Amino acid sequence: MRTFGKILQIIGLILLPLACFAQISDGLGRHFGVSDMVLWSVFGIAAFFIGRFVEGYASSS
């Protein structure tokens, strides 16, 4: 479980700058709106915090 939590944290940390980069560069080949960037950012933040809770729960038991 601890490894799963760390993987979720890494995914969350990768998604945040990736969302910003996709917004700036139009890297998806279509119009990438601010709403898409916000959605990616919320998902990244949620993945990071869920991973942190899972990692904390695994190390305390």
14: which 2 tokens?
A: 């990768």
Q: What is the pLDDT of residue 9?
A: 94
Q: How far apart are the first and last CA of the chain?
A: 11
38: which 2 tokens?
A: 């916000």
Q: Residues 35-56: pLDDT tens digits?
A: 778 888 899 999 999 999 999 8
| C-alpha of 38 from chain center | 11
Q: Higher pLDDT residue, 29 or 22?
A: 22
Q: Higher pLDDT residue, 19 or 10?
A: 10
| Average pLDDT over the chain, rounded to an integer | 84
- The H or E element that residue 13 is part of is helix 2-25
23: which 2 tokens?
A: 């917004």
Q: What is the pLDDT of residue 51?
A: 94
- The H or E element that residue 50 is part of is helix 34-60
